[in-house]
């Protein structure tokens, strides 16, 4: 794993689950390299803006740091320019569900063949604790000192409605589980979306809740039926389901586009 590390000092808060996501991804890249299914020169990681975005500093591979909320246009541009590249994006709930929500919807709609991992900590952490699109109603932070009056949206439901062909959720507290979901996302052809529950231990520490309130989906999933996946991601359950909810094969944006431009 040494050669995937960089000389950059890790500046996440000590114990931040962003580090667990970094470890899961590095482990996966090592595995894919060993299996010879991936060459490092063909891997590009793009980061957005937020605490998550520092991950590109800690990966000794091709990386690009994009503008706030704009990593998906960057990723799609890279993929169109060179379809042989494996393009992986690291974003946050502030970055992709708030600032860049329109890009998220359209990347899913066109089934661009890129992989998006969203570090969802339900708070703007880098700017020290404002509400995002996934902050729960009643959340108290810098922008909502009396408690948020808004309902959060469900990013998995949004992605299913927009046309994503791979929709999953994992928990950063489970490194092996996260690595497995990342592998399935990378192996999927088409837009793969993974919401990673990543508690922010400084501004919204939800570790106790999630450590005791997650479970993995059973073998009925991933479903190929949109209705089944929608029913599951909207189910009111005591515990939060993790795994791949939905997976289907469809022509990718790049496959459809290339005959027109060559
Ligand atoms: Fe992690 Fe939160 Fe610290 Fe950012 S502020 S590094 S998300 S614990």
Per residue, the 3-state secondary structure of the chain, as one string, reads: CHHHCCCCCCCCCCCCCHHHHHHHHHHHHHHHHHCCCCCHHHEEEEECCCHHHHHHHHCCCEEEECCCCCHHHHHHHHHHHCCCCEEEEEEEHHHHHHHCHHHHHHHHHHCCCCEEEEEECCCECCCCCECCCCCCCCCCCCCCCCCCCCCCCCHHHHHHHHCCCEEEEEECCCHHHHHHHHHHHHHCCCCEEEEEECCECCCECCHHHHHHCEEECCCCCCECCHHHHHHHHCCCCCCEEEEEEEECCCCCHHHHHHHHHC
Query: C-alpha distances in angstroms, 29 versus 82, 91, 117, 176?
Result: 20, 18, 15, 13
Q: How far is the CA of 189 from the centre of ligand 1 (A)?
A: 32
Which residue out of 12, 57, 58, 173 has the highest number of ligand 1 atoms within 8 Å of its CB and is therefore the one to mutate?
12
Q: What is the pLDDT of residue 260?
A: 87
Are 70 and 96 in contact by the 8 Å Cβ rule? The answer is no
Q: How far is the CA of 214 from the centre of ligand 1 (A)?
A: 21
Q: Which atom from ligand 1 is nearest to the alpha carbon of 128?
A: 5
Q: What is the pLDDT of residue 81?
A: 95
Q: What is the pLDDT of residue 12?
A: 98
Are 42 and 86 in contact by the 8 Å Cβ rule? The answer is yes
What is the chain's Cα-based Rg?
17
Which residue out of 200, 204, 205, 206 has the highest number of ligand 1 atoms within 8 Å of its CB and is therefore the one to mutate?
200
Pocket of ligand 1 (CB under 6 A): 12-13, 16, 18, 51, 121, 125, 200-203
Q: The tokens 């957005």 sit on which residue?
A: 48
Correct CATH for 12-261 of 3.40.50.970, 3.30.1490.190, 3.40.50.300, 3.40.640.10: 3.40.50.970
Domain ranges for the chain: 12-261
Q: What is the pLDDT of residue 2?
A: 55
Q: List the structure tokens of 186.
A: 């990378």
Q: Which atom from ligand 1 is nearest to the alpha carbon of 11?
A: 6
Strands 166-171 and 240-247 come out as antiparallel
Q: What is the pLDDT of residue 37?
A: 86
Q: How far is the CA of 11 from the centre of ligand 1 (A)?
A: 9
Q: How far is the CA of 16 from the centre of ligand 1 (A)?
A: 6
Q: Which atom from ligand 1 is nearest to the alpha carbon of 51?
A: 4
Q: The tokens 């996946």 sit on which residue?
A: 229
Q: What is the pLDDT along the chain (262 residues), one digit of tens a residue?
A: 457 999 999 999 999 999 999 999 999 999 999 998 899 999 999 999 999 999 999 999 999 999 999 999 999 999 999 999 999 999 999 999 999 999 999 999 999 999 999 999 999 999 999 999 999 999 999 999 999 999 999 999 999 999 999 999 999 999 999 999 999 999 999 999 999 999 999 999 999 999 999 999 999 999 999 999 999 999 999 999 999 999 999 999 999 998 887 6
Q: What is the pLDDT of residue 119?
A: 98
| CA atoms within 13 Å, Cβ hemisphere of 196 | 33
d(CA 76, CA 72): 6
Q: What is the pLDDT of residue 36?
A: 87
């Amino acid at each position: 794993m040494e050669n995937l590390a960089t000389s950059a000092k890790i500046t996440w808060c000590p114990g931040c689950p962003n580090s667990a996501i970094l470890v899961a991804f590095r482990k996966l890249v090592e595995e894919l390299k060993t299996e010879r299914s991936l060459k490092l020169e063909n891997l590009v990681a793009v980061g957005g803006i937020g605490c998550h975005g520092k991950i590109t500093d800690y990966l000794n591979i091709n990386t690009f740091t994009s503008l706030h909320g704009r990593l998906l246009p960057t990723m799609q541009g890279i993929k169109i320019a060179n379809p042989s590249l494996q393009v992986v994006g690291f974003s946050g709930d502030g970055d992709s569900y708030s600032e860049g929500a329109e890009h998220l919807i359209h990347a899913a709609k066109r089934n661009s063949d890129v992989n998006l991992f969203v570090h969802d900590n339900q708070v703007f952490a880098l700017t020290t604790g404002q509400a995002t699109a996934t902050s729960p109603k009643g959340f108290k932070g810098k922008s909502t000192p009396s408690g948020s009056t808004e309902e959060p949206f469900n990013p998995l439901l949004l992605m299913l409605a927009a046309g994503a062909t791979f929709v999953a959720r994992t928990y950063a507290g489970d490194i092996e589980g996260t690595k497995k979901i990342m592998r399935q996302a990378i192996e999927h052809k088409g837009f793969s979306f993974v919401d990673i529950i990543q508690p922010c231990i400084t501004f919204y520490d939800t570790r106790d809740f999630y450590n005791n309130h997650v479970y993995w989906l059973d073998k009925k999933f991933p479903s190929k039926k949109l209705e089944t996946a929608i029913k599951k991601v909207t189910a009111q359950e005591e515990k939060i389901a993790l795994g791949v909810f939905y997976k289907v094969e469809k022509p990718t944006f790049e496959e459809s586009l290339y005959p027109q431009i060559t």
